[in-house]
Structure 1
Amino acid sequence: MKKLLFIVLAAITSVANSQNAIAKSATDIAPLLIGEKIPSLTLKSSENTAVNISDLLKKKKTVLVFYRGGWCPYCNAHLQALAEAEKEILDLGYQIIGISPDAPENLKITGEKDKVNYTLLSDSKGELIKALGIAFEAPENYKSVINVHSNGVNTSLLPVPSVFVVNPESEILFEYISPDFKHRITNELLVSVLKTFK
């Protein structure tokens, strides 16, 4: 019996630790799965105020978008595309929240440049992306740009570009995770997914 209990505890500990471990590459991540909950953590708004992610998620169903930063042209194209579909997404009863390692003041720059009206949040410390299992060790050639855009808070972590559809109880209903940062979910596919949860 003790041996069985030890095996069960070891398995639980291993799963918990793997969620917070930093993957060596984008293809090595171990993300949370559909049905699991987004952890309750505090991030920063573009005004540099503390925002609890769970409090935001409680308001309504959410499209939660993780992007690498305002310096990434593929991320900017994705944020702009979401801005174009925002009215349709809002009409379906959802809110959009974008999260990156960028510092709060850089979120403002991205929002203005990409004509984004939805909420952008800073996860400079990488706590949420680590908890979600989508953080990985950035290649050397990205570390200086991450450092600059996070104002020195983050020197080595990137999120794998991801979209989570989450209910007000913080449960993941759908996820689209792309280790190849050049590929993002299309608005058409996202909207059709959102309609299934309406």
Structure 2
Amino acid sequence: MTLQDKLDAFKADFEAGKPPYNVPYSVIETMHRATAELIASGAAARALKAGDKAPAFTLNDPDGNPVSSRDLLAHGPLVVSFYRGVWCPYCNMELQALQETLPEFEKLGASLVAISPQTAPNSRKSVRQNNLDFPILSDTHNDVAAAFGLRFALPDYLVELYKGLKNDLPSFNGDPSWTLPMPGRFVIGHDGVILYAEVNPDYTRRPEPANMLPALRHAASAAV
């Protein structure tokens, strides 16, 4: 079963209100509205693309250790996945799929990091719950996400919905701004140029991790 098959199956159960979700249809309608508006805004088209220079970044891992993109790129290409947080089931399924593909990334000399706006304790929870062997980095205020063109502010009606669902993003993220990154995956070459970019304004749609392997193979062959 592909990652998207798993996401679609979860979405079908969630939107059908099956236990344990039992979500009213009015909630689903509000989520659909917010997603449609984000798609229509064209924000994804303004994100960084293949051929662009990737912004350099240094972010802390869950133990407070700084992780530098420049240091990682000194050893080979870099796979970066931006995700919303441990509270998002779609994101957790994507992290698990990335973990399954990690050995193939490493065979091609690549490093993998995930980036979210959440606090270190929530990143530790993500690592633990998803059995991850790659670091999750905390992007306070979504500043690195903004540099990649991914940050967006939730509309007021979605903020109110999240509050009603006890989905307290300021608490999860240690940031009162109510912003999130659009989910995005990037392959960055040794020279800092983006070789692959995929951004989803619809958070229920994610690419297969294997889609990044051709770009990594190209990077590996170019380095020979």
TM-score by length of 2: 0.71
Deviation at 1:104, TM superposition (A): 1.4
The 5-angstrom pairing of residues 99-178 of structure 1 reads: 99-138=115-154, 139-140=158-159, 141-142=161-162, 144-150=167-173, 152-178=174-200
Between the two proteins, the alignment pairs up a number of residues equal to 174
Hey, what's the Cα distance between the residues in 2 that align with 1:181 and 1:114? 19
Aligned to 2:69: 53
Residues 127-149 of structure 1 deviation map (CA, whole Å, 9 limit, x = unaligned): 10111111111231347532121
Give the aligned residue type for 1:172: I
Distance in 1 between residues matched to 2:111 and 2:57, nearest whole Å: 18
1:25 to 23, 31, 38: 38
Structure with greater strand percent: 1
Residues 28/45 of structure 1: CA separation in 2 closer, same or farther (3 Å cut): same
Corresponding residue SS for 2:206: coil
CA contact under 8 A between 1:102 and 1:149: conserved in structure 2? yes
CA deviation map 1:154-176 (0-9, x unaligned) = 53111111100001222111101
Between stretches 44-53 and 109-118, larger displacement belongs to: 44-53
Find 2:212's aligned residue among 182, 190, 195: 190
Identity %: 30
Q: Tell me how far apart the structure 2 counterparts of residues 147 and 57 of structure 1 sit (CA, whole Å).
A: 32
CA contact (8 A) 2:96 2:130 kept: yes
Residue 193 of structure 1 and its aligned partner are, at CA, apart by 4.1
Q: Determine the structure 2 residue equivalent to 1:62.
A: 78
In 2, Cα distance between equivalents of 1:129 and 1:59: 23
Contact kept in structure 2, 1:79 and 1:114, CA below 8 Å: yes
TM-score by length of 1: 0.79
The 2-side partners of 1:167 and 1:120 are apart by 20
Note closer, same or farther for the CA distance 1:110–1:142 as it changes in structure 2 (3 Å cut). same
Counterpart Cα distance in 2 of 1:101 and 1:85 = 23
Asked whether the 8 Å contact 1:37–1:172 carries over to 2, the reply is yes
Q: CA deviation at 1:33?
A: 2.3
Task: Please report how far the alpha carbon of residue 188 of structure 1 lies from its aligned counterpart in structure 2 after TM superposition.
Answer: 3.3
Return the structure number with greater helix share.
2
Aligned with 1:191: secondary structure? helix
Structure 2 match to 1:181: 203
The answer for unaligned runs of 5 or more in structure 2 is 1-36
CA contact (8 A) 2:51 2:193 kept: yes
- Structure 1 contact 39–131 (Cα < 8 Å) conserved: yes
User: In 2, distance between residues paired with 1:41 and 1:146?
Assistant: 23
Structure 2 counterpart of 1:116, which letter? L
